[in-house]
Structure 1
Amino acid sequence: MNREDQVIMGFRDLFNKMVWLNKGKMEDRLKGVTSSEVHCIEYIGNHIDSNVTKLAESFYMTSGAISKMTKKLIQKDLIQSYQKPDNKKEIYFRLTEQGQEIFRIHEELHQEFQERDKAVFEQVTDEQFDSMLRFLERYSKHLDAEIKKQGIDTKPDSE
């Protein structure tokens, strides 16, 4: 296996381990809410005036898929839609009280997971972090360009 394959397999393996380790606690504390729904709630909680377009771009999903998910979240009373007085065309989302509770629990779980993994990150130097972040940015830009080549413009150039 070459080094590129090792890096890709390493990323995949790390991601799968994190998902496996976190899954039980997430499911236990966030009953009745799927992982995708939790991440949608997280995005809405962190971004004012979230709408279908912004969510679709962020999650690399179609607007139709996001519309379905937001309808489910509205039915579960986790988010609500609203319009601005000066723009009756666009529909935005915000968290309900129940949605804010899911958001809070999710944040607590993230902090717990970060605390669990702190021992590893404490050993990483600033130079190593900088190097990893540069690599991730370069690879992400490459993938954005490849997505664009396929005619799928998911992110505005300004991001």
Structure 2
Amino acid sequence: MNKQEQVMMNFRDLFNKLVWINKSKMESSLKGYKPSEVHCIEFIEKNVDSNVTKLAESLYMTKGAISKLTKKLIEKGLIEDYQKANNKKEVFFRLTEQGRTIYDIHEKLHTEFQERDESVFNHVTEEQYDKMLNFIEVYSKHLDTEINKQGLDLTK
């Protein structure tokens, strides 16, 4: 196995371990909510004037899937839609108090997981962080280019 294959295999393995170790705590703390719902709530809270297009791009889902998801979140009382006085065409979303509660639970879990893993990250140097972030940025841009070449539009 060459180094590229090792890196890709280790990225997948690392991601799968993170999901596995966090899964039971996430599921029990956010019982009744799917990961896509929680991630949608998180995006809406962190991004002013979230709309279907922005959500679709961020969550790598189709606009149709986001429309269904936001409709379900509205029905559950977690988000509400609104329009701006100067733009009656576009619909935006914001959290309700109940949605903010779900967001807060999710953020506390992320903080807990971050604290659990702090012993590893305390030993990473700025130079190592810079190299890792640079690699991720270069690879991400490459994948964006490939997505465009293939004509993949994630928001359809």
TM over 0.5: yes
State the TM bucket, normalised to the shorter chain. Answer: over 0.9
Secondary structure, aligned partner of 2:77: coil
Gaps of 5+ in 2: none
CA distance in 2 between partners of 1:66 and 1:150 (Å): 22
CA RMSD of aligned residues (A): 1.1
Gaps of 5+ in 1: none
Aligned positions of 1:59-138 closer than 5 A:
59-138=59-138
Per-residue deviation at 1:40?
0.5
Matched, 1:56 2:56: yes
CA distance in 2 between partners of 1:6 and 1:75 (Å): 45
* Corresponding position of 2:23: 23
TM-score normalized by structure 1? 0.95
TM-score normalized by structure 2? 0.97
Kept in 1: contact 2:62–2:154 (CA 8 A): no
CA distance in 2 between partners of 1:100 and 1:63 (Å): 23
* Corresponding position of 1:32: 32
**4+ runs deviating over 6 angstroms:** none
Q: Identity of paired residues, percent? A: 68
Per-residue deviation at 1:154?
5.1
Q: For this pair of structures, how many residues does the alignment match?
A: 155
2:149 aligned partner, one-letter code: K
CA distance in 1 between partners of 2:92 and 2:118 (Å): 36
Give the number of the structure with larger relative contact order, counting CA–CA contacts within 8 Å between residues 6 or more apart. Answer: 2
CA distance in 1 between partners of 2:24 and 2:153 (Å): 35
Secondary structure, aligned partner of 1:124: coil
Secondary structure, aligned partner of 1:48: coil
Kept in 1: contact 2:29–2:105 (CA 8 A): yes
Q: Give a deviation string over 1:14-45, Cα, whole Å, max 9, x none.
A: 11000011111111111111011100000000
Q: Give a deviation string over 1:36-78, Cα, whole Å, max 9, x none.
A: 1100000000001000000011112110011111111111111
